Amino acid sequence: MSPRDIPASILIRSSLFFEGLPEAAVERATMNVVTRNHPPNQVILLENDWGSSVYFILSGWVKIRTYNLDGKEVTLNILGKGELFGEMAPLDEVPRSTDVITLAPTVIGNMPAQDFVRLLTTEPQSGIRLAKLMARRLRQVNRRLRLRESDSVSRVADILLFLAEGQGKASASGTGTEIPNLPHRELSSLSGLARETVTRVLSKLEKKGLITRDRDFLCISDAHALEQLML
């Protein structure tokens, strides 16, 4: 059964955010969720939009984007199934601070912001869950910032491990971790390296047997070996 065939209020509960919360509270929070199907490269949110919804990814991938002072696009994060975004604007009542764009065909559940805020104010565990999500994202960003002066291999290895931590899944053969085989321009933006450099490093890692690639997925064969490259 595809995500299109499952009611949004049921599908959205697969998000880790709702895990362990009282069923009645989850049901109230998700009763007004609406699903929308988006093609690749569609803008979901724009910087400076006001926050009337919180978004849950039911399938597919999105990137969180901003621009630096030189006007160059910077990818801050890649999010996939089970993740949420747009949660900050309703909480601090200010406009959105980033753009969100789909990277693949994506199904998103839109939860009214007032339902999300009500859940946070009535269920303490949901606030703790959100705080843990924020802390994890902050740790990831801090790690990437620390590696900005490292060599290109370390920086690409870090991005692959970063994606595996957030969106990795066991490969069908059980011998590695699969992540989406993103366009090299996205890996370039995440790592701060030139696209040509990313391509060269990925080829090097593939020749060493640390990764394998096909059209849709990149498989990390040995995560520990990738971690060693960053030391």
What confidence category does residue 170 fall into, taking pLDDT thresholds of 50, 70 and 90? confident
In the chain, % of residues over pLDDT 90: 38
Query: What share of residues in the chain are helix, strand, coil (percent, to 5)?
Result: 45, 25, 30
What local confidence, expressed as pLDDT, does residue 112 receive? 94
pLDDT at 5 over 70: no
Q: DSSP assignment, residue 191?
A: H
In this predicted model, what pLDDT tens digit does every residue of 18-33 receive, in sequence order? 988 998 999 999 999 9
pTM: 0.81
pLDDT at 82 over 70: yes
In this predicted model, what pLDDT tens digit does every residue of 185-197 receive, in sequence order? 889 888 889 999 9
What local confidence, expressed as pLDDT, does residue 196 receive? 96
Cα–Cα distance between 46 and 50 in angstroms, integer? 9
pLDDT at 73 over 70: yes
Half-sphere exposure of 134 (CA within 13 A, CB side): 9
Q: DSSP assignment, residue 206?
A: H
pLDDT at 99 over 90: yes
In this predicted model, what pLDDT tens digit does every residue of 37-56 receive, in sequence order? 999 999 998 888 877 899 99
What local confidence, expressed as pLDDT, does residue 8 receive? 62
What local confidence, expressed as pLDDT, does residue 94 receive? 77
3-state secondary structure of 69: coil
pLDDT at 3 over 70: no
What local confidence, expressed as pLDDT, does residue 163 receive? 86
Cα–Cα distance between 193 and 156 in angstroms, integer? 9
What local confidence, expressed as pLDDT, does residue 102 receive? 93
Q: In whole angstroms, how far apart are CA 170 and each of 2, 93, 96, 152, 217?
A: 20, 39, 34, 26, 12
Lowest mean pLDDT among 61-65, 68-72, 115-119, 153-157: 68-72
What local confidence, expressed as pLDDT, does residue 9 receive? 62
